[in-house]
Structure 1
Amino acid sequence: MVSEVVEKKLYDAASKGDVAILVRLVEEDPYLVHGVSFPFSRNLLHVAAMHGQASIVEEVLKFNPRLARISDSQKSSPLHIAAEEGHVEICQRLLSVAPEACWWRDCHDMNPLHIAAMKGHVEIVKRLLQESHLLVMERLHRKETVLHLCVKHGQLRTLKVLVDRLGEDLVDAFDEDGETILHLAVRANQLETVRYLVESKKIKRRARNSTGKTPLQILNESPRYTSSSYSEIRRSLLKLLQPSLESAMPEMTNTTMVVVVLITTMAFQNAVNPPGGMWQEDTSSHKAGEAVIAYTHPHIYKHLVRANIVAFVSSILTIFLIASGLTSRNIFLLNIALFGMWVSLIAIAVSYGASTMVITPNTKTKSVDLIVVIISLISLISFLVALLFVHIAMMYFSWRGKIRGREDLTTDPLPKRILYRIFQRLETWGCLRPNHL
């Protein structure tokens, strides 16, 4: 049985980092390291870890490394204590001796990663993740993840580290109430957290909790006068309701690729096999293999060659950009690819007009320049109509999102409100079916 006097000396030595006294006491009675027990059934490692005494931890592990695997009455191992207090060096030493302790749960059902994240000790979180990324998959008793703990305790720095290293499934994980970390951030009025989660683009659009409410609906139900950041949070959440360019990118690039490959094929075919065919024999005025229309319609042939070159080169450029892994983040290159597609469309339209004039009777009396102008105008108008259609479609989906979020539409500009009334009428008449869009 260890006397109270010796126990106090050991506690003071462990808490103050007095290695000399600790070594002297242990040399006098080697049983002290194994048999001493402080309040809550804690051993010397618990005490040293609590006070951040790395030198004491090192000495105690020399005497008895098994103490790193012993928990106190709260089911906390020395690693739990070090993670809670934020002592990185001690955590590293304990993990080298007892790496399995990173999986142990305390009386609150938390492992050391949960505790470090809750306290905001980023470096310890990173070190534990090096031990095993699967630690983040451990749920608490209410199915909360470590990310829920970060939001509840306002640890944005820790949340960023975890979100950057995790997949979307855990970021969008639900707790027992069906709430994601975005729901919790809105409830807690954490503006910076909401901004980060929206901009990280790992949050699913319109995620609903167990009562069917989105984060925007939760915000709208909260009293506005109690939150100075209400409008900023609302503006961030509205970004989730906008049609995502990144989500539409794969389908758009696939469609664009099909179009430009077809145009490339048409331009190549028109170049090697022009309308009217090739001369089959050499004569005094031409050679076999040359285009017939180069002699019969030289003016039209010049426009045909130029249009084919423009269509072929712009299509090849677009194919190269898409095949190089074009993403929605490369807005400049994306615009170049789209512009290249439309240029190739206009050029192939001009080529079609020139080819039609060659094989149509009495084309000598027609003006090829007028045909080029008409086709270019038609192509430009079709492009503008397509842009207008896309803009109206995005406005419609935005309006549907606001309806689901029970937002006040009367504050929007007059042109938008007019469009909203038109959308409402079209849905009433059955022209639009939102459930199928």
Structure 2
Amino acid sequence: MCMSPDSQGRNPLHLAAIKGHVLVLEEVFREAPFAAREKVDGGLSLLHLCVKYSQFEALKILVPMLNEFPNSKDDDGDTILHMAVRDKRIEIIQYLVENTNIDMNSKNSKGQTPLSILDQAPPDTTSEIRKILTPKLHNSNINTQTKPVKWLTKKRDAIMVVAILIATMAFQAGVSPAGGVWQDDSDAHRAGEAVMAYNHPKAYKSFIRSNTIAFVSSLSTILLLISGLPFKRRLFMWILMVIMWLTVTSIAVTYAISIVAVTPKKDRKSLSHVIEIGLTVWCSVMGILLGGNTLRLIDRWLKNRGVTVWRPQRFRNSVHEKNSQESV
């Protein structure tokens, strides 16, 4: 009965929220909590309906019970904060900002954030809402600086699997290199020694170096991930990034040397040329990324010590205008 919708897709829980019948809302939710997850036409959730029909008391009852729903979106991509800002529900906005983890930077299908919706309204009607949103928006921007840390937390297991896989590949390539090993003893070689070491001695030396680097750096990645180092510090993030870059690049070089070693002489020259171009492009891209991140790390380190080496043009223009106004 609690799940039975009307012609507009509204179940009894939706109707209780629209009418603001708090006691009925609590009772129906207790009996059929899954009904709260149903959406009506337009993709409006139960919380969207509370905001749309300005049922603040119903919203306060539902938010603690639907922790994950404040950031849910309707068919237009609007969260309940988008809707509250558009309709200027000041009481609801203040409650959402102070009592939920509402995403201040969430964008709807038009690419609008709650603040950009506010910017389109006449300034004289938005000052109070802006005072409520600004501190929360500042904190939200600070939190975005920890995104690399959150990314690492979410991807830690995946990075661990990749590092273990590369370590396994490097170990296998070391004990069973391309071209195999000699199966018997002779005056020139002994059983178990790499064929590549005799047929391509220079390539074999490069192969062993790059393969060893890949093996050691992948083990280092595993060690860093399980060591519990404070990756909130950018220095440790930079170290991990360098080691991962070294791991992937080394295993790519190992692959290239192996392919060249087992390729027939008639095709080796053209293949070597292609591999050289590929490795050059790869190392160039990785070098640019490494250099860029290193410069960012140095710039942040200098800023923490009060030294500003570079500022965006927009920031410099704003500072110049501010100084000009002060001088006037």
Instruction: Provide the TM-score with structure 2 as the length reference.
Output: 0.48
Find the structure with the greater CA-based Rg: 1
